[in-house]
Structure 1
């Protein structure tokens, strides 16, 4: 099997439209969560907070490409172009058939989907719809639009597993390169914020609703006063490529991907399960040939839901013990769903490079049901050689990635 490394990163987030803005905002302990104006018009919507990104310079994307894009696809194209530039891969290489594109999301553009039904349903008139709405709404819209805009002729796939989408995308790309089917892959996820997205979690009582008047105080992963997740948006894209190819190009190598696992719980459609999370962690470590005492840092999924945080802590404690530093990044940028695995991995790579672990924001008092692991509550200096990234999605879908510093 070929070795696979991460050689480029790109990000659009609520902190800003590049990786440096994302990392800087977290370093400075900024919250990107805001009260969302206009959301109070939605009857029954309890959570009125979100972490919105800004559309900036979208018109630099040619109109012929941009017209099939919703917000999330624009974010993905911008993040992908950053990642390619960061990796030093030229656009003429993308037509070789040896570079692929795998980008996941929960669904297509939420805004475009909502607009489609608002336009069509009153008179049930399909003639009122733009011919491009379909391409904005399809579940593979981000992967499709990025590959079309950039001229990618290699393998194009879209992972759609809600919060596990981006990490699954990276894992699929990892396998394609290991097997020699691709030399490099643009991997990651994209998502957009919309009241209907937050509403889908709200009806499950999974969102934060007690901090509408003080949005910077939520979400609160692992905290005694946590009350649910806060949705965010953006895109995280990584270039992963075959190790020898990256060396020949003299590319910067952020880390080597050394293992992963993804699995289902088979237990419950919305309730996380400690046993299946623990199984996923064990299998990921086994695939990386890594023991628990070799892991230096765990970037937790930790969305600040009551059940999710509790079950993740139990699984971490069971498999990895109580000494490895653990933190979550969702207190800063909210839960970016299909983009979360990639955006949070990018920040984790920055931590690995800088030798620092950023703390879990808004973790003031560790909840009794989240005790028993080593929570990072203040930034700490630490050499990170091997790290674990967790992502767990509705539907009982678990995904864990293991990376090593070279």
Structure 2
């Protein structure tokens, strides 16, 4: 098996469209959550908060490519270009059939899907649809559009596992490289904020609805007063590469990917399950040949749902006790769903580089069910060499990735 390293990162986040700006926002304890007044037209929507990103300079993408991109694909394309530039990959390597793309999302562009129904349904007239609308709506829109935009001719994967999509994409890229099928893979996830997306969680009673007039105070991961998640948007793309090839070309290496695991719970369609989380985390550690005591930081999934945070805390307590710092970045950026695993991994790599761990924003009083782990309440200066990133999705889909500084 080949060794796999991370050589490039690119991000579009609610806290900014480059890594330094995002990390400055985390360091300052900034919240990107705001009241979405434009959503008040939707009857029955209780949560009116979201964490939007800024779409800028999209016209730098050629119109021929841009026409088939919805908002999430534009985010993904921009983050992918930044990751390639950061990795210093020349055009001939990007376009090689030894370069792949694995980028996931919860679904296609929510805005484009909504527009499609609004165009077609009044008169039941399919002819009203623009020819490119389909390419914005399909579930593999981000991976497809990135590969077309950048000329990628290797393997193209599009994991679609809700909140685990981005981390599953990284796992897919990791496997492709270590098995020798690809030399490098652009991996990550993308998502866009839309009232229909928040509404999907709203009808499941999973959204924050008590902080519409004080958006900066929600979500509240692990806090006893949490009342649900806040949807966000953006994209995170990482370049994974064969370690020997990366060293040969003198690439900067952020970290080595040591192990990955993903599994289902088979227990409940919407309720998290601590036993399945434990199994997933142990599998990732076993593959990494890393002991729990060697982990320096855990980037928790913790979305501030009442049930999910408790189950995750139980799983982490069983494996790590209170010996390892744990924080969730959802308080700062909301839950970027299919992009969250990748965006938060990029932030974790920056913490590793800076040896400073960002706290869980809005965590003031730990829920009794979330005790027994080492919560981070303020920026923590600590040597960070080995990290684990978690993503836990509806459908009982769990994912965990272990990385170590080289």
Secondary structure of residue in 1 paired with 2:390: strand
Distance (whole Å) between structure 2 residues aligned to residue 96 and residue 336 of structure 1: 31
Q: What's the TM-score once normalised by structure 1's chain length?
A: 0.99
Task: Name the structure 2 match of 1:230.
Answer: 230
Counterparts of residues 27-38 of structure 1 (less than 5 Å): 27-38=27-38
Query: By how many angstroms is 1:404 displaced?
Result: 0.6
1:175 CA drift (Å) = 0.5
Taking the TM superposition and a 5 Å limit, the aligned residue runs for 1:383-394 are: 383-394=383-394
What does the per-residue CA deviation read over 1:230-276, in whole Å, with 9 as the maximum and x for residues that have no partner?
Answer: 00000000001000111111111110000111000000000000100
Partner of 1:405: 405
Cα distance in structure 2, aligned partners of 1:35 and 1:316: 33
Q: How does 1:353-364 map to 2 (within 5 A)?
A: 353-364=353-364
Q: Secondary structure at the match of 1:38?
A: helix
Q: What is the alpha-carbon root mean square deviation over aligned residues? A: 0.6
| Secondary structure, counterpart of 1:153 in structure 2 | coil
Gaps of 5+ in 2: none
Matches within 5 A, 1:5-24: 5-24=5-24
Describe the SS at the equivalent of 2:347.
helix
Runs of 4 or more, structure 1, over 2 Å off, are: none
Q: Which residue of 1 aligns with 2:153?
A: 153
- Deviation, structure 1 residue 17: 1.6
Shift of 1:151: 0.3
- Give the deviation of 1:92 after TM superposition: 2.3
**Alpha-carbon separation, structure 2, partners of 1:88 and 1:224:** 45
Map of 1:115 onto structure 2 = 115
- Determine the C-alpha separation between the residues in 2 that align with 1:53 and 1:128: 30
TM-score calculated relative to the size of structure 2? 0.99
* Residues 64-143 of structure 1 mapped to structure 2, 5 A cutoff: 64-143=64-143
Aligned equivalents of 1:159 and 1:362: distance in 2? 31
What secondary structure does 2:235 align onto? strand
Give distance in 2, aligned partners of 1:348 and 1:284.
Answer: 17
CA distance in 1, matches of 2:91, 2:50: 35
Q: Deviations over 1:77-101 (max 9, x none)?
A: 0000000000000222222100100
| Map of 1:299 onto structure 2 | 299
- Of the structure 1 ranges 109-118 and 17-26, higher mean CA displacement relative to structure 2 is found in 17-26
Distance 1:305 1:42 in 2: 23
Pick which of 17-26 and 376-385 moved more: 17-26
Q: How many aligned positions are there?
A: 406
- SS of residue matched to 1:107: coil
Separation of aligned partners in 2, 1:197 and 1:124: 24
Equivalent residue number for residue 344 of structure 1: 344
Structure 1 Cα separation of the partners of residues 403 and 95 of structure 2: 29
Q: Distance in 1 between matches of 2:53 and 2:113?
A: 19
Per-residue deviation, residues 58-116 of structure 1 (Å, max 9, x unmatched): 01111000000000000000000000000000222222100100000000000000000
Alpha-carbon shift at residue 12 of structure 1 (Å):
0.4
